[in-house]
Structure 1
Amino acid sequence: MTFRIREIRAQRGLTVAQLAGAAGVSSGLISQVERGLADPSLETLRQIARVLEVPLFELFVDEEESSRVSVMRKGEHIEITTPATSITYTRLSKARGTIEVLQGDIAPGGESSTEPRSHAAEECIVVVAGTLSIDVDGSTVVLEAGDSCHYDSRLPHRLFNDSEEKATYIVAITPPSY
Protein backbone atom coordinates (compact mmCIF):
# COMPACT_ATOMS: atom_id res chain seq x y z
CA MET A 1 0.00 0.00 0.00
CA THR A 2 1.30 3.47 -0.87
CA PHE A 3 0.87 6.53 1.33
CA ARG A 4 1.15 10.30 0.80
CA ILE A 5 2.67 10.90 4.24
CA ARG A 6 6.01 12.26 2.94
CA GLU A 7 4.25 14.67 0.56
CA ILE A 8 1.85 16.00 3.22
CA ARG A 9 4.57 16.15 5.88
CA ALA A 10 6.76 18.23 3.52
CA GLN A 11 3.83 20.55 2.75
CA ARG A 12 3.42 21.10 6.51
CA GLY A 13 7.16 21.79 6.90
CA LEU A 14 7.66 18.93 9.37
CA THR A 15 10.70 16.73 9.69
CA VAL A 16 10.38 12.97 10.11
CA ALA A 17 11.41 13.38 13.76
CA GLN A 18 8.81 16.11 14.39
CA LEU A 19 5.99 14.04 12.87
CA ALA A 20 7.09 10.92 14.73
CA GLY A 21 7.31 12.74 18.06
CA ALA A 22 3.89 14.38 17.69
CA ALA A 23 2.30 11.08 16.56
CA GLY A 24 3.95 9.08 19.35
CA VAL A 25 5.83 6.69 17.06
CA SER A 26 9.48 6.22 16.13
CA SER A 27 11.23 8.15 13.38
CA GLY A 28 12.25 4.80 11.93
CA LEU A 29 8.62 3.75 11.52
CA ILE A 30 7.71 7.01 9.75
CA SER A 31 10.73 6.61 7.47
CA GLN A 32 9.84 3.00 6.66
CA VAL A 33 6.20 3.86 5.93
CA GLU A 34 7.23 6.74 3.67
CA ARG A 35 9.52 4.41 1.72
CA GLY A 36 6.88 1.68 1.45
CA LEU A 37 8.78 -0.73 3.70
CA ALA A 38 6.19 -0.95 6.51
CA ASP A 39 2.43 -0.96 6.87
CA PRO A 40 1.34 1.00 9.94
CA SER A 41 -1.61 0.06 12.13
CA LEU A 42 -4.90 1.90 11.81
CA GLU A 43 -4.27 3.63 15.14
CA THR A 44 -0.85 4.82 13.94
CA LEU A 45 -2.41 6.14 10.72
CA ARG A 46 -5.06 7.97 12.78
CA GLN A 47 -2.32 9.60 14.89
CA ILE A 48 -0.35 10.62 11.79
CA ALA A 49 -3.50 12.02 10.15
CA ARG A 50 -4.32 13.95 13.34
CA VAL A 51 -0.85 15.52 13.43
CA LEU A 52 -0.96 16.35 9.71
CA GLU A 53 -4.54 17.67 10.14
CA VAL A 54 -5.99 15.60 7.29
CA PRO A 55 -8.69 12.92 7.12
CA LEU A 56 -7.22 9.42 7.46
CA PHE A 57 -7.88 8.33 3.89
CA GLU A 58 -6.12 11.48 2.61
CA LEU A 59 -2.90 9.66 3.53
CA PHE A 60 -3.51 7.07 0.81
CA VAL A 61 -2.32 7.65 -2.76
CA ASP A 62 -5.17 8.41 -5.14
CA GLU A 63 -4.85 9.45 -8.76
CA GLU A 64 -6.09 12.92 -9.59
CA GLU A 65 -9.44 12.95 -11.32
CA SER A 66 -9.67 15.28 -14.31
CA SER A 67 -13.36 14.59 -14.76
CA ARG A 68 -16.16 16.06 -12.68
CA VAL A 69 -17.53 12.54 -12.28
CA SER A 70 -15.53 10.14 -10.14
CA VAL A 71 -16.04 6.42 -10.59
CA MET A 72 -14.47 3.76 -8.44
CA ARG A 73 -14.60 0.34 -10.00
CA LYS A 74 -14.62 -2.87 -8.03
CA GLY A 75 -11.02 -3.61 -7.12
CA GLU A 76 -10.02 0.07 -6.93
CA HIS A 77 -11.30 0.56 -3.40
CA ILE A 78 -8.81 1.17 -0.62
CA GLU A 79 -9.32 -1.09 2.36
CA ILE A 80 -7.89 -0.88 5.86
CA THR A 81 -8.33 -3.47 8.57
CA THR A 82 -7.67 -3.13 12.23
CA PRO A 83 -7.40 -6.47 14.01
CA ALA A 84 -7.57 -4.75 17.43
CA THR A 85 -11.13 -3.51 16.80
CA SER A 86 -12.30 -6.21 14.33
CA ILE A 87 -13.37 -3.61 11.75
CA THR A 88 -12.52 -3.35 8.07
CA TYR A 89 -13.22 -0.05 6.30
CA THR A 90 -13.42 0.19 2.53
CA ARG A 91 -13.49 3.66 0.97
CA LEU A 92 -16.25 3.75 -1.64
CA SER A 93 -15.75 7.39 -2.66
CA LYS A 94 -12.81 9.20 -4.20
CA ALA A 95 -10.66 11.41 -1.99
CA ARG A 96 -10.72 15.20 -1.99
CA GLY A 97 -14.48 15.61 -1.94
CA THR A 98 -16.69 17.11 0.74
CA ILE A 99 -18.26 13.78 1.60
CA GLU A 100 -16.66 10.43 2.26
CA VAL A 101 -18.49 7.13 1.87
CA LEU A 102 -17.14 4.01 3.54
CA GLN A 103 -18.29 0.44 3.93
CA GLY A 104 -17.65 -0.97 7.37
CA ASP A 105 -17.57 -4.62 8.31
CA ILE A 106 -17.43 -5.35 12.02
CA ALA A 107 -16.97 -8.85 13.40
CA PRO A 108 -19.10 -10.25 16.23
CA GLY A 109 -17.89 -8.67 19.47
CA GLY A 110 -15.99 -5.99 17.56
CA GLU A 111 -16.01 -2.28 18.33
CA SER A 112 -14.75 0.88 16.68
CA SER A 113 -12.95 1.88 19.88
CA THR A 114 -13.00 1.01 23.56
CA GLU A 115 -13.95 4.59 24.46
CA PRO A 116 -16.25 6.95 22.52
CA ARG A 117 -14.43 9.40 20.24
CA SER A 118 -15.47 12.64 18.62
CA HIS A 119 -14.43 14.61 15.54
CA ALA A 120 -15.80 17.60 13.66
CA ALA A 121 -18.18 15.99 11.16
CA GLU A 122 -21.65 14.52 10.59
CA GLU A 123 -22.25 10.85 9.94
CA CYS A 124 -25.10 8.88 8.47
CA ILE A 125 -24.95 5.09 8.86
CA VAL A 126 -27.10 2.59 6.99
CA VAL A 127 -26.92 -1.04 8.12
CA VAL A 128 -26.74 -3.42 5.15
CA ALA A 129 -26.54 -6.72 7.04
CA GLY A 130 -26.51 -7.87 10.63
CA THR A 131 -27.04 -5.76 13.74
CA LEU A 132 -25.00 -2.70 14.73
CA SER A 133 -25.11 -0.80 18.01
CA ILE A 134 -24.18 2.88 18.08
CA ASP A 135 -23.42 4.72 21.30
CA VAL A 136 -23.76 8.50 20.81
CA ASP A 137 -23.16 10.70 23.83
CA GLY A 138 -24.04 7.89 26.25
CA SER A 139 -27.23 6.80 24.48
CA THR A 140 -27.20 3.51 22.56
CA VAL A 141 -29.34 2.66 19.56
CA VAL A 142 -29.46 -0.77 17.92
CA LEU A 143 -29.83 -0.84 14.14
CA GLU A 144 -30.78 -3.81 11.99
CA ALA A 145 -30.47 -4.29 8.22
CA GLY A 146 -32.24 -1.41 6.46
CA ASP A 147 -32.13 0.90 9.50
CA SER A 148 -30.19 4.16 9.45
CA CYS A 149 -28.91 6.70 11.95
CA HIS A 150 -27.62 10.27 11.52
CA TYR A 151 -25.65 12.11 14.21
CA ASP A 152 -23.28 14.96 14.93
CA SER A 153 -19.83 13.34 15.19
CA ARG A 154 -18.68 16.06 17.58
CA LEU A 155 -20.62 14.07 20.18
CA PRO A 156 -18.58 11.19 21.65
CA HIS A 157 -19.56 8.04 19.77
CA ARG A 158 -18.53 4.49 19.02
CA LEU A 159 -19.89 1.50 17.10
CA PHE A 160 -20.04 -2.07 18.36
CA ASN A 161 -21.44 -5.43 17.40
CA ASP A 162 -22.96 -7.46 20.24
CA SER A 163 -24.47 -10.03 17.89
CA GLU A 164 -23.20 -13.43 16.75
CA GLU A 165 -22.85 -12.41 13.08
CA LYS A 166 -20.80 -9.87 11.13
CA ALA A 167 -22.44 -6.47 10.65
CA THR A 168 -21.98 -4.56 7.38
CA TYR A 169 -22.86 -0.90 7.10
CA ILE A 170 -22.37 2.12 4.85
CA VAL A 171 -21.32 5.39 6.46
CA ALA A 172 -21.34 8.81 4.81
CA ILE A 173 -19.16 11.39 6.58
CA THR A 174 -18.94 15.09 5.90
CA PRO A 175 -16.42 16.56 5.93
CA PRO A 176 -14.20 13.51 5.42
CA SER A 177 -12.48 12.43 8.60
CA TYR A 178 -11.31 8.86 8.07
Structure 2
Amino acid sequence: MSLSEGSVRSMLATNLRRARSERGLSLSELSRRSKIGKATLSQLESGTGNPTIETVFSLSRVLEVPISDLLDARPAGELTVVRAADVEVLSGEGVDLRPLQRIESGDAVVELFDQQVRAGRRQESLGHVGTEHTIVQAGRLGVRVEGHEVELGPGDYVRFDASRPHSYLALDGDVRSVLLLQYRAEQRLHLSDPALGGGPCGSER
Protein backbone atom coordinates (compact mmCIF):
# COMPACT_ATOMS: atom_id res chain seq x y z
CA MET A 1 0.00 0.00 0.00
CA SER A 2 1.87 3.07 -1.21
CA LEU A 3 1.22 6.73 -0.71
CA SER A 4 0.20 7.00 -4.35
CA GLU A 5 -2.73 4.70 -3.64
CA GLY A 6 -4.05 7.01 -0.93
CA SER A 7 -3.16 7.54 2.69
CA VAL A 8 -3.99 5.16 5.50
CA ARG A 9 -6.19 7.90 6.93
CA SER A 10 -8.32 8.38 3.81
CA MET A 11 -8.64 4.66 3.08
CA LEU A 12 -9.65 3.91 6.68
CA ALA A 13 -12.28 6.66 6.49
CA THR A 14 -13.93 5.14 3.42
CA ASN A 15 -13.69 1.52 4.52
CA LEU A 16 -14.80 2.15 8.09
CA ARG A 17 -17.99 3.85 6.90
CA ARG A 18 -18.70 0.94 4.56
CA ALA A 19 -17.92 -1.73 7.14
CA ARG A 20 -20.10 -0.02 9.73
CA SER A 21 -22.92 0.25 7.20
CA GLU A 22 -22.58 -3.44 6.30
CA ARG A 23 -22.86 -4.36 9.99
CA GLY A 24 -25.79 -1.98 10.50
CA LEU A 25 -24.09 -0.21 13.41
CA SER A 26 -24.53 3.41 14.48
CA LEU A 27 -21.52 5.43 15.58
CA SER A 28 -22.82 5.22 19.14
CA GLU A 29 -23.07 1.42 19.06
CA LEU A 30 -19.66 1.02 17.43
CA SER A 31 -18.23 3.33 20.09
CA ARG A 32 -19.78 1.24 22.85
CA ARG A 33 -18.48 -2.06 21.46
CA SER A 34 -15.00 -0.85 20.56
CA LYS A 35 -14.43 1.41 23.61
CA ILE A 36 -13.39 4.15 21.14
CA GLY A 37 -14.96 7.58 21.69
CA LYS A 38 -17.77 8.58 19.36
CA ALA A 39 -15.97 11.83 18.50
CA THR A 40 -12.83 9.86 17.60
CA LEU A 41 -14.82 7.52 15.34
CA SER A 42 -16.47 10.49 13.66
CA GLN A 43 -13.04 11.98 12.96
CA LEU A 44 -11.79 8.67 11.56
CA GLU A 45 -14.80 8.41 9.24
CA SER A 46 -14.30 11.99 8.03
CA GLY A 47 -10.60 11.37 7.34
CA THR A 48 -9.39 13.86 9.95
CA GLY A 49 -8.51 11.38 12.71
CA ASN A 50 -5.13 9.89 13.54
CA PRO A 51 -5.48 6.08 13.47
CA THR A 52 -3.23 3.98 15.69
CA ILE A 53 -2.56 0.25 15.76
CA GLU A 54 -4.76 -0.07 18.84
CA THR A 55 -7.65 1.69 17.09
CA VAL A 56 -7.43 -0.31 13.87
CA PHE A 57 -7.11 -3.67 15.64
CA SER A 58 -10.02 -2.83 17.95
CA LEU A 59 -12.19 -1.96 14.94
CA SER A 60 -11.09 -5.17 13.22
CA ARG A 61 -12.13 -7.15 16.31
CA VAL A 62 -15.54 -5.50 16.74
CA LEU A 63 -16.46 -5.41 13.03
CA GLU A 64 -15.03 -8.93 12.55
CA VAL A 65 -13.12 -8.02 9.40
CA PRO A 66 -9.46 -8.39 8.38
CA ILE A 67 -7.16 -5.42 8.85
CA SER A 68 -6.81 -5.03 5.08
CA ASP A 69 -10.58 -4.56 4.72
CA LEU A 70 -10.04 -1.38 6.72
CA LEU A 71 -6.72 -0.32 5.19
CA ASP A 72 -7.52 -1.50 1.64
CA ALA A 73 -4.23 -3.20 0.74
CA ARG A 74 -3.98 -4.11 -2.94
CA PRO A 75 -3.74 -7.65 -4.34
CA ALA A 76 -0.47 -8.68 -5.88
CA GLY A 77 0.19 -8.48 -9.61
CA GLU A 78 2.80 -10.39 -11.61
CA LEU A 79 5.58 -8.20 -10.23
CA THR A 80 5.04 -6.06 -7.17
CA VAL A 81 7.75 -3.95 -5.58
CA VAL A 82 7.01 -2.10 -2.35
CA ARG A 83 9.58 0.49 -1.38
CA ALA A 84 10.04 1.11 2.34
CA ALA A 85 9.94 4.87 1.81
CA ASP A 86 6.56 4.65 0.04
CA VAL A 87 4.66 2.90 2.84
CA GLU A 88 2.98 4.76 5.68
CA VAL A 89 3.72 3.47 9.16
CA LEU A 90 0.85 2.55 11.47
CA SER A 91 2.11 3.06 15.03
CA GLY A 92 0.94 1.87 18.42
CA GLU A 93 2.20 1.88 22.01
CA GLY A 94 5.10 -0.41 21.20
CA VAL A 95 4.89 -1.44 17.55
CA ASP A 96 5.32 0.16 14.13
CA LEU A 97 3.62 -1.72 11.28
CA ARG A 98 4.10 -1.22 7.56
CA PRO A 99 1.35 -2.96 5.53
CA LEU A 100 3.01 -4.49 2.47
CA GLN A 101 0.57 -6.78 0.67
CA ARG A 102 -2.61 -8.83 0.80
CA ILE A 103 -2.40 -12.29 -0.75
CA GLU A 104 -5.56 -14.18 -1.72
CA SER A 105 -5.51 -17.86 -2.65
CA GLY A 106 -8.57 -20.07 -2.65
CA ASP A 107 -10.25 -19.83 0.73
CA ALA A 108 -7.26 -18.13 2.38
CA VAL A 109 -6.41 -14.45 2.74
CA VAL A 110 -2.99 -13.46 4.11
CA GLU A 111 -1.89 -9.94 5.02
CA LEU A 112 1.84 -9.27 5.08
CA PHE A 113 3.39 -6.62 7.36
CA ASP A 114 6.87 -5.43 8.21
CA GLN A 115 6.82 -5.13 12.00
CA GLN A 116 9.15 -3.33 14.40
CA VAL A 117 8.69 -3.66 18.15
CA ARG A 118 10.35 -0.77 19.95
CA ALA A 119 12.87 -1.51 22.70
CA GLY A 120 11.39 -2.04 26.14
CA ARG A 121 7.81 -1.43 24.96
CA ARG A 122 4.89 -3.85 25.12
CA GLN A 123 2.13 -3.86 22.51
CA GLU A 124 -1.13 -5.21 23.92
CA SER A 125 -4.07 -6.53 21.90
CA LEU A 126 -7.46 -7.67 23.16
CA GLY A 127 -7.65 -9.90 20.10
CA HIS A 128 -8.90 -9.57 16.54
CA VAL A 129 -9.99 -11.67 13.58
CA GLY A 130 -7.61 -14.26 12.10
CA THR A 131 -4.55 -16.36 12.85
CA GLU A 132 -1.31 -14.51 13.61
CA HIS A 133 2.12 -15.63 12.39
CA THR A 134 5.36 -13.86 13.38
CA ILE A 135 8.90 -14.55 12.19
CA VAL A 136 11.67 -12.72 14.06
CA GLN A 137 14.44 -11.30 11.91
CA ALA A 138 16.52 -9.44 14.49
CA GLY A 139 16.38 -9.01 18.27
CA ARG A 140 14.65 -10.93 21.07
CA LEU A 141 10.85 -10.89 21.21
CA GLY A 142 8.63 -11.84 24.11
CA VAL A 143 5.18 -13.11 23.08
CA ARG A 144 2.31 -13.55 25.53
CA VAL A 145 -0.95 -15.28 24.55
CA GLU A 146 -3.58 -15.63 27.29
CA GLY A 147 -0.93 -15.94 30.00
CA HIS A 148 1.39 -18.26 28.06
CA GLU A 149 4.76 -16.63 27.34
CA VAL A 150 7.51 -17.58 24.89
CA GLU A 151 10.77 -15.89 23.91
CA LEU A 152 11.82 -15.76 20.27
CA GLY A 153 15.17 -14.99 18.65
CA PRO A 154 16.24 -14.42 15.04
CA GLY A 155 14.73 -17.04 12.74
CA ASP A 156 12.17 -18.21 15.33
CA TYR A 157 8.47 -18.44 14.45
CA VAL A 158 5.21 -18.35 16.43
CA ARG A 159 1.60 -18.96 15.41
CA PHE A 160 -1.57 -18.42 17.46
CA ASP A 161 -5.28 -17.65 17.32
CA ALA A 162 -5.34 -13.85 17.06
CA SER A 163 -8.79 -13.64 18.69
CA ARG A 164 -7.12 -14.39 22.03
CA PRO A 165 -5.63 -11.51 24.06
CA HIS A 166 -1.94 -11.25 23.22
CA SER A 167 1.06 -8.96 23.41
CA TYR A 168 4.58 -8.41 22.06
CA LEU A 169 7.55 -7.11 24.07
CA ALA A 170 11.00 -6.19 22.73
CA LEU A 171 13.36 -7.74 25.29
CA ASP A 172 16.74 -6.45 24.14
CA GLY A 173 16.70 -3.49 21.77
CA ASP A 174 14.35 -3.06 18.82
CA VAL A 175 12.92 -6.20 17.22
CA ARG A 176 12.42 -6.52 13.47
CA SER A 177 9.98 -9.17 12.34
CA VAL A 178 7.59 -10.25 9.62
CA LEU A 179 3.92 -10.40 10.65
CA LEU A 180 1.36 -12.39 8.69
CA LEU A 181 -2.35 -12.32 9.48
CA GLN A 182 -4.30 -15.22 7.98
CA TYR A 183 -8.07 -15.27 7.44
CA ARG A 184 -10.73 -17.38 5.82
CA ALA A 185 -12.09 -15.77 2.68
CA GLU A 186 -15.63 -15.72 4.07
CA GLN A 187 -14.47 -13.44 6.91
CA ARG A 188 -13.96 -10.62 4.43
CA LEU A 189 -16.55 -7.98 3.63
CA HIS A 190 -17.15 -7.09 0.00
CA LEU A 191 -16.20 -3.47 0.53
CA SER A 192 -15.94 -2.71 -3.17
CA ASP A 193 -19.70 -3.16 -3.60
CA PRO A 194 -21.06 0.30 -4.46
CA ALA A 195 -24.43 -0.67 -3.02
CA LEU A 196 -22.89 -0.34 0.43
CA GLY A 197 -22.64 3.38 -0.13
CA GLY A 198 -21.51 4.68 3.23
CA GLY A 199 -23.40 7.95 3.43
CA PRO A 200 -22.07 11.31 4.53
CA CYS A 201 -18.91 11.39 6.61
CA GLY A 202 -19.66 10.89 10.30
CA SER A 203 -23.38 10.18 9.79
CA GLU A 204 -25.23 7.48 11.70
CA ARG A 205 -27.59 4.87 10.44
- In the alignment of these two chains, the number of paired residues is 170
Shift of 1:120: 5.6
Determine the C-alpha separation between the residues in 2 that align with 1:158 and 1:5: 25
For normalisation by structure 1, the TM-score amounts to 0.76
Match of 2:155 in 1: 146
Map 1:4-153 to 2 at 5 A.
Answer: 4-62=15-73, 65=75, 69=78, 71=80, 73-74=82-83, 75-82=85-92, 84=93, 86-94=94-102, 98-113=109-124, 117-119=126-128, 121-153=130-162
Match of 1:170 in 2: 178
Which has the larger share of helix? 2
Provide, for residues 54-79 of structure 1, a one-character-per-residue CA deviation record: whole Å limited to 9, x for no partner: 1233212445x5x7658352255453
Gaps of 5+ in 1: none
Match of 2:21, SS? helix
The one of the two structures with greater contact order (alpha-carbon pairs below 8 A, sep at least 6) is: 2
Given that 2:53 and 2:91 are in contact with CA atoms closer than 8 Å, whether structure 1 keeps it comes out as yes
Provide, for residues 33-71 of structure 1, a one-character-per-residue CA deviation record: whole Å limited to 9, x for no partner: 1111111333233332222221233212445x5x76583
Shift of 1:167: 0.5
- Root-mean-square deviation (CA, aligned residues, Å) is 2.9
Residue identity matched to 1:107: R
Gaps of 5+ in 2: 1-8, 188-205
Match of 2:122, SS? coil
Match of 2:25, SS? coil
Determine the C-alpha separation between the residues in 2 that align with 1:137 and 1:76: 35
Shift of 1:23: 2.2
Given that 2:145 and 2:165 are in contact with CA atoms closer than 8 Å, whether structure 1 keeps it comes out as yes
After superposing the two structures, state which structure 1 stretch, 21-30 or 151-160, moved more.
151-160
Given that 1:70 and 1:94 are in contact with CA atoms closer than 8 Å, whether structure 2 keeps it comes out as no
Closer, same or farther: CA 48–167 of 1 in aligned 2, 3 Å = same
| Residue 159 (structure 1) aligned with residue 173 (structure 2) | no
The percentage of aligned residue pairs carrying the same residue is 22
Given that 1:109 and 1:160 are in contact with CA atoms closer than 8 Å, whether structure 2 keeps it comes out as yes
For normalisation by structure 2, the TM-score amounts to 0.68
